[in-house]
Structure 1
Amino acid sequence: MTRRFACIRLPLAPLFTPLFVGALAVALSVSAPVCGADDPVGAAMKLYEKRRYEQAARLLEDALARPDAERRAQAQLVLGMIYLRNADLHEALARTAATAELDYLDKLLKTRTEDRSRYARLYLAEALLARGDAAAAARHFEQVRADPGIESRYQAIASVGLGSVLWAQRDAERARGLWARAGGAAEITLARAAAQGRAQLVDAKSLQRLADDASRARELSPRTRRYLIEIYTATGAPDKALAVARAADLGMASYVERFKVLKGTPKSINLYDLALLTDLTRLYRELARRQLEQAAADARMKPSAEYYLAEVLSGLGASDEALTYVQAFLARPQTPAQYRERALARQALIAHRQGRRAEAESTWSAMAEQGSDPEVLADIVLGCADAQTQCGKVLARVGQVTEAGDGRRYQRLNFALGSYYLRKKDYARAISYMEAGRDKSNKNKIEANDPEMLAGLAEAYYRTKKFSEGLEIFFEMSKEFPVVRQIQEAMQGVYSMEQRSAGDVKIL
């Protein structure tokens, strides 16, 4: 055994110790000597608790590159957990980005003629497609294709996008026709390959070969990198997709549109790919799935891996597979009470997604009425938010619990309530609950506050026109997650347009 993995031995009893994110760190500290840099799992857990997901992941990836059979499964389990939380964060960022960026792109299209953006329409169409609004996306793609002022390659990319809309609308024949006619530049070929990969129309190996050839170019545009991430993720090569993402400046604009104005200095507008955030969400979930499936091959890690795999697969839309893992977990004896309850809450969410809505809501109501654990109640409320159901009995019970408790202990529960009301567009309540759980002394620090909560809070502040509060949050978050730059610029742009004074607020 190498010294790198020799320091820590988690106790095998109880079997479910790794289920507890916090308890896992405790177990690491009390059951093993302190080894500092020689303890990659313990060091990664500390970074994980500080929400430094990228740093934590890199540390364990390096460790796993050095074979050690005894500790390998544990490292895979923790790495899977890290990828999973990073996926959840990027999903939250994508929701917030959609709010600000769709507003911003729409406003760009409505400005006066002399400085109206032509290319904003293409990015608006792609953003709408990424958020599932196929009908609206189609209208904008059609206008881009018909606009003689747009470069032919971007018109071709719009044709590929329209093909994806038609595929989503189950018009496979017209979709294939549009994709078949799109060709020429390498970027167009990659756009088509990414669309075909999502539709699972083309052999995965041939798409990977195409991506491999394209990735060898001396310079890759942000758009090309996004297509490569999509292709590799869709074809079962998430490690290659991760390498592409890490080689990129995720804060860089996808396209910079420059044009002259009648008065004043030349102007430029940065346009970003909202789809990048949804692509990264899927990528991190696929990476989590791979690590957790490998960890599950070890009998000691299998129960914990099953618990997290249910969450990963549910997020990937594989409800039947997710249900299998939840049921396997619940069938095990001696399951810790909190995690058993949380698994039951997830099982109810899966039931809701499978169309058994009444069953899900009845389960959540009964669990909330009988329970008081804030972590379990938070999962129930988040399930209600995800399903966008009323959950009146749940909210009544949770309100009683939060009124009787301190904000710090109920931080996650307050975040869950804030998320619920944010989805309901009750922004005043959303802000109230999230602020109740926010660490006021370190209000924008991700070590003290869940970045998913901060992203939601920034969205609520944006919705209520409190732009500076939202920008402050993303300024701090951008130090660890440069991809939030696109949200910053969109919020800044909307503020500037609404105030009619473009220089009033600078990007922080």
Structure 2
Amino acid sequence: MTRRHACVHLLFASLLAAALGASAPARGADDDPVGAAMKLYEKRRYEQAARVLEDALARLEAERRPQARLVLGMIYVRNADLHEALGRTAAAAELDYLDKLLKTRTGDRSRYARLHLAEALLARGSAAEAQRHFEQVRADPGIEKRYQALASVGLGSVLWAQRDAKGARAVWAGTGGAAEIALARAAAQGGGRLADVKSLRRVADDASLAPQLSARTRRYLIEIYTAAGAPDKALAVARAGDLGMASYVESFRAAKGTAKSINLYDLALLTDLTRLYRELARRQLEQAAADARMKPSAEYYLAEVLNDLGSRDEASTYVEAFLARAQTPVQYRERARVRQALIAHRQGRRAEAESAWTAMAESGSDPEVLADIVLGCADAQAQCSKVLARVGQVTEAGDGRRYQRLNFALGSYYLRKKDYARAISYMEAGRDKSNKNKIEANDPEMLAGLAEAYYRTKKFSEGLEIFFEMSKEFPVVRQIQEAMQGVYSMEQRSAGDVKIL
């Protein structure tokens, strides 16, 4: 999201509030947490922006709370989108890295990389491939019993995903009663909606009382609390720990007798955080929508969040309600129509959706609307040839800075199509070269995609530079850094431990 785009979001909320008669007394910066949060939001400091409002909500006057909830919901939406983009980039690097670790010569081979590879594959939806690795971990006598049990929990999740409920329950039943295993099992069953909310919360509450929580335990707690409808508790768990911490540090002797250690991470953490932020967004936006002044804006964002959470029918209802309103900015009406088409595509009405996108692209020239159309095509994995032809005409006639978000959208489209050269070309066209890795000047979602494209084309240093800067605000990207550096080291046959640039 460009700085201009962030400002438009605030303008949108303000216009709607003004149109509905909302008013508030003038305030200074010191007692205006909403304004302070919006400034951080414009700089893409999503975590900082959210904390400002989380801390302020309880002490705000009742009349100002709905606006604060609306803005907080907007912040969570963008943070979720960013973590989803980071998850795609992490999958590219980490799956490669873990696979390479398994293929090194015997003396240097990691035993525990296979478990993390299986869990990563499951998190990215590759259940069949994950199953093979889980079964190998369970059969490996060199793996600690508790990690074999964790592999069994993962295998149960695979079977559940494959609709083998009987097999899943049988595997889970044989995993034992150790505290960590029970927590892992609760997380798996919560994700599969097999356990009741009260029992899930009870297991999580008991585990959270431990004086220290491992990175793995913290991830399970985030999953359980989110599944149990307690996203605030999940957020507290996430905030209390270091999201850049490795899940497991494996130390062993390499073939030449030198000590070696590798950090293994949970790719699923990024998926978990994405869902958590969307659930938090939904909660805040639903509460904001209860206020007549904020209802139109809240409906607009709720449609986006619910669509991404898989609640298509509910999302469609909110889009229709928004479009039925007379007093909405034209640009946002068009963007709502773009989203309506994406919802239709995900509901199986593909031809209808692509026809709507084409008609909007051919009749419009607003770069923000066109960017949404292209991003919709990318998300839906649709060809959208006529849309691309029209967008190409628009971008050729304009400068890169004005069309920054549109260039990002085109880059994202070609990244999904695995046309990495084009992806890099478009994203670089919209990149602020004077502040090329600064998130204040460049959308971090774009930077994450650009880093993936550079990684795919073996330009490791360019990708690592991006994440070095991003890690200052988002520690969770450390796992991507280490995976990229690890692949680079192995491809260059570089000796020694994996290190961060």
CA distance in 2, matches of 1:249, 1:180: 32
- Report the counterpart of residue 336 of structure 1 in structure 2: 329
Q: CA deviation at 1:261?
A: 2.2
**Please, which of 283, 291, 305 is the counterpart of residue 276 of structure 2?**
283
CA distance in 2, matches of 1:154, 1:309: 40
CA distance in 2, matches of 1:62, 1:102: 38
**Please, which of 29, 40, 51 is the counterpart of residue 58 of structure 1?**
51
CA distance in 1, matches of 2:253, 2:305: 48
- Report the counterpart of residue 140 of structure 1 in structure 2: 133
CA distance in 2, matches of 1:209, 1:261: 44
CA distance in 2, matches of 1:67, 1:172: 48
1:112 paired with 2:100, answer no
- Report the counterpart of residue 122 of structure 1 in structure 2: 115
1:311 paired with 2:311, answer no
Q: Which letter maps to 2:30?
A: A
**Please, which of 207, 218, 221 is the counterpart of residue 214 of structure 1?**
207
CA distance in 1, matches of 2:495, 2:313: 50
> What runs of 5+ residues in structure 2 fail to find an aligned partner?
1-5, 18-22
1:35 paired with 2:51, answer no
Q: 2:214, 2:247 within 8 Å by CA — same for their partners in 1?
A: yes
Q: 1:25, 1:45 within 8 Å by CA — same for their partners in 2?
A: no
Q: CA deviation at 1:31?
A: 8.4
Q: CA deviation at 1:264?
A: 4.1
**Please, which of 280, 287, 292 is the counterpart of residue 294 of structure 1?**
287
> What runs of 5+ residues in structure 1 fail to find an aligned partner?
1-17
1:228 paired with 2:216, answer no
Q: Which letter maps to 2:301?
A: Y
Q: How does 1:333-482 map to 2 (within 5 A)?
A: 333-482=326-475
Secondary structure of residue in 1 paired with 2:256: coil
CA distance in 2, matches of 1:201, 1:22: 40
Secondary structure of residue in 1 paired with 2:261: strand
Q: 2:201, 2:224 within 8 Å by CA — same for their partners in 1?
A: yes
Q: 2:13, 2:294 within 8 Å by CA — same for their partners in 1?
A: no
Secondary structure of residue in 1 paired with 2:63: helix
CA distance in 2, matches of 1:62, 1:111: 49
- Report the counterpart of residue 11 of structure 1 in structure 2: none
- Report the counterpart of residue 23 of structure 1 in structure 2: 11
| Range with bigger deviation, 254-263 or 283-292 | 254-263
Q: 2:408, 2:446 within 8 Å by CA — same for their partners in 1?
A: yes
Q: 2:150, 2:181 within 8 Å by CA — same for their partners in 1?
A: yes
- Report the counterpart of residue 178 of structure 1 in structure 2: 171
Runs of 4+ in 1 over 2 A off after TM superposition: 24-28, 30-34, 502-506
Secondary structure of residue in 1 paired with 2:64: helix
Q: TM-score, normalised by structure 2?
A: 0.96
Q: How many residues align?
A: 490
Q: CA deviation at 1:186?
A: 1.1
Q: CA deviation at 1:260?
A: 1.3
Q: CA deviation at 1:34?
A: 5.6
Q: Which letter maps to 1:273?
A: D
- Report the counterpart of residue 6 of structure 1 in structure 2: none
Cα RMSD for the two superposed structures: 1.7
Q: Which letter maps to 1:280?
A: L
Q: 2:358, 2:384 within 8 Å by CA — same for their partners in 1?
A: yes
- Report the counterpart of residue 149 of structure 2 in structure 1: 156
1:83 paired with 2:76, answer yes
Secondary structure of residue in 2 paired with 1:69: coil
- Report the counterpart of residue 492 of structure 1 in structure 2: 485
| Range with bigger deviation, 138-147 or 63-72 | 63-72
| Range with bigger deviation, 472-481 or 172-181 | 172-181
Q: TM-score, normalised by structure 1?
A: 0.94
Q: CA deviation at 1:25?
A: 8.7
Q: CA deviation at 1:26?
A: 8.0
- Percent identity, aligned pairs only? 85
- Report the counterpart of residue 244 of structure 1 in structure 2: 237
Q: Which letter maps to 1:195?
A: A
Q: Which letter maps to 1:452?
A: E
The 1:236–1:26 alpha-carbon spacing in structure 2 relative to 1, beyond 3 Å, is: closer
Secondary structure of residue in 2 paired with 1:500: coil
Secondary structure of residue in 1 paired with 2:59: coil
Secondary structure of residue in 1 paired with 2:270: helix
Q: Which letter maps to 1:43?
A: A
Structure ranking higher on relative contact order (CA contacts 8 Å, 6+ apart): 2
**Please, which of 41, 44, 47 is the counterpart of residue 48 of structure 1?**
41
CA distance in 1, matches of 2:496, 2:367: 45
CA distance in 1, matches of 2:172, 2:499: 41
Q: Which letter maps to 2:166?
A: E
